[in-house]
Amino acid sequence: MEAVLAGAISTALTRFGVDADPSRIGLERPARTDHGDWSTNAALVSAKGAGLPPRELAQQLAAELDGAGLPHLERTEVAGPGFVNLHLAPSWLHEVLAEVLLEGVDGYACSDIGSGQTVNLEFVSANPTGPLHAGGGRWGAFGDSLARLFRRCGYATVTEYYVNDRGAQMELFGRSLAARLAGEPVPDDGYHGEYVIEWANELAVELEANSAVGDAGPLAVVEARGGTAFAASWGRERALRDVAESLAAMNVGFDRWQSEASLVDSGAMDDVIERLRDAGRVYEQDGAVWLATSEFDDAKDRVLRRSDGEPTYFVPDIAYHHAKFGRGDRVIDVLGADHHGYVPRIAAAMQMLGHAPESYEAIVGQNVTLMRDGKVIELSKRTGTIVEVRELIDAVGPDVARFAFLLQSIDSRQTIDIDLLSAQAAENPVFYVQYAHARIASVARRAEADGVASVPPPGTDLSPLSGDRELALLRALEVLPSVVETALRERAPHKVTTWVRDLAAAFHGFYHDCPILHSQIPPEVRDARLCLTEGTRIGLAIGLDLLGVDAPEAM
């Protein structure tokens, strides 16, 4: 419908000989229904070029559209400073509903804007040195929902978690674990969290269960197997298991877990440095090897190899990002605000390696502030203060947790008070939405029990759907495809959250005012309403799936 109207507006303006700027012409669904079903500012933005007062041009445009024989168009009006409002017959919404029912959950609101394109999306990538922090849940929920949006829009999408399993942090983690195992104090700059003690105990139990320990004790076994390196390697697996399980509980998964160590072992670092040298962007100074990233908008050049001969973390990161281009035409990182300063150097390196500037994208989100009982919890590696996502999920359930993460824009700092969220879990908006879905399932069960098909056959007359609540619900359903496209384009999954709440609200209102299966409801009205109910179910299922939240049949 939108395309038809936009075409008609464009044709009319051309006929008038108006040289309009298409990028400024908007066709939108007005906030108020008395402003019509669609509204355009075409006359407003074209008036100057046409040499006419806006309202006069609007009058001409309205008349032209009236005479164009557009489907469903009942009348036009000129309003305000020069808007042309288009009032359509409800039949246009009935067509939308028929489309929803025909296409179903796997078809409606799908787009092909990404067909033939591949996307590589990396998110979370927290160091494998401990359980996943609750703040990390935000990146998990965001990244996973963004991936779902990409897929629904036709992009072949690969999601990745980068495992920083080598270098100083791993070394420290291994030492901390070994120290706890030995009952010694952990290094000052090591990992002091409670979980290190628990994990060390786990390791001990595991080793003892594997019999090999004998009289020497677990510590001796660890020493025999490589000491710190063994502890680190065991700890890595332990941490990743925690991360994967915690995220899986929230329906977040990854296609690939890329180990930094194995990437480095493959020789990727040397390879990438060679390429950068060939590109003429590498130089030596003060005994160190530098990359001239400032030539590509970075604030300063960066060190690749320290004067002591050690490569910086930057080198494997370049190698990793370069490798990701083998798995996606567009490479996207989801990062916390504490890493935003790191974006220009990676972007610079990617350009040096021949990747187009627009093919690398970093989405920087604001971090989560965690609170407990109204007090901010400061994270500290030194004291080991941490709030695990697992704790959050255990406290409120996976659906509340994930919905909470996706409730607001990634650009705004999020404050999560665990106690408050727990106390108010029952009032969480996710249940409002899920309740709508469960109600629909309940209606379907009741219909079947009454011997009525809960999904009337295609071709069912939808014209009885003409009341305010019915039309409002149809309108909510109608916007989903554009919501999906906007949410993807703006990298804003929370727009789906907003929409799904709107749809649920429209359904609850409809349900309250429009009896479906009551005895005095005529069969043709009943069937039309059942169609609308089923269409709503489809919309809710699509929205909840994009959000990675369960769509229950009963609660």
* 21 lines the binding site for RNA (CB under 7 A): no
* 464 lines the binding site for RNA (CB under 7 A): no
By CB under 7 A, the residues from 32 to 51 that bind RNA are 32, 34-36, 39, 41, 44-45, 48
| Neighbour count for residue 70 (Cβ, 10 Å) | 18
Closest separation in Å from C-beta 494 to RNA = 6
- What does the radius of gyration of the chain's CA atoms come to, in whole angstroms? 29
* 366 lines the binding site for RNA (CB under 7 A): yes
For residue 69, the Cα-to-chain-centroid distance in whole angstroms is 41
By CB under 7 A, the residues from 511 to 550 that bind RNA are 511-520
* Token pair in block for residue 411: 């650009």
| Neighbour count for residue 196 (Cβ, 10 Å) | 22
* 381 lines the binding site for RNA (CB under 7 A): no
Tokens 């590589």 identify what position?
A: 120
Nearest CB to RNA, comparing residues 328 and 398: 398
Closest separation in Å from C-beta 204 to RNA = 28
Nearest CB to RNA, comparing residues 82 and 548: 82
- Selected range binding RNA among 61-69, 311-319, 323-331, 451-459, rule: CB under 7 A: 311-319
In the three-class reduction of DSSP (H, G, I as helix; E, B as strand; rest coil), residue 47 is classed as helix
Instruction: By CB under 7 A, name the one of 15, 75, 340, 375 that touches RNA.
Output: 340
In angstroms, the first-to-last Cα distance of the chain is 37
Number of residues that bind RNA (CB under 7 A): 87
Residue 332 phi/psi, 5-degree rounding, is -125, 135
Nearest CB to RNA, comparing residues 106 and 373: 373
Q: State the DSSP code for 129.
A: S
Closest separation in Å from C-beta 107 to RNA = 26
Q: Confirm if 35 and 78 have CB atoms less than 8 A apart.
A: no
Instruction: By CB under 7 A, name the one of 151, 225, 381, 508 that touches RNA.
Output: 508
- Selected range binding RNA among 143-151, 153-161, 274-282, 405-413, rule: CB under 7 A: 405-413
Closest separation in Å from C-beta 469 to RNA = 8
Closest separation in Å from C-beta 209 to RNA = 33
Residues in a beta bridge with 118: 156
* 187 lines the binding site for RNA (CB under 7 A): no
* 467 lines the binding site for RNA (CB under 7 A): no
- Selected range binding RNA among 109-117, 204-212, 213-221, 406-414, rule: CB under 7 A: 406-414
Closest separation in Å from C-beta 183 to RNA = 28
* 306 lines the binding site for RNA (CB under 7 A): yes
Instruction: By CB under 7 A, name the one of 85, 246, 258, 454 that touches RNA.
Output: 85
Cα–Cα dist 437/544, whole Å:
10
Query: Concatenated DSSP letters for 188-218?
Result: TTS---HHHHHHHHHHHHHHHHTSTTTTS-H
- Selected range binding RNA among 91-99, 101-109, 422-430, 452-460, rule: CB under 7 A: 422-430
Long-range residue pairs from 106-109, CB within 8 A, at least 24 positions apart, any chain: 108/480, 108/481, 108/538, 108/539, 108/542, 109/152, 109/480, 109/481, 109/483, 109/484, 109/539, 109/542
Q: State the DSSP code for 68.
A: T
- Selected range binding RNA among 109-117, 134-142, 217-225, 505-513, rule: CB under 7 A: 505-513
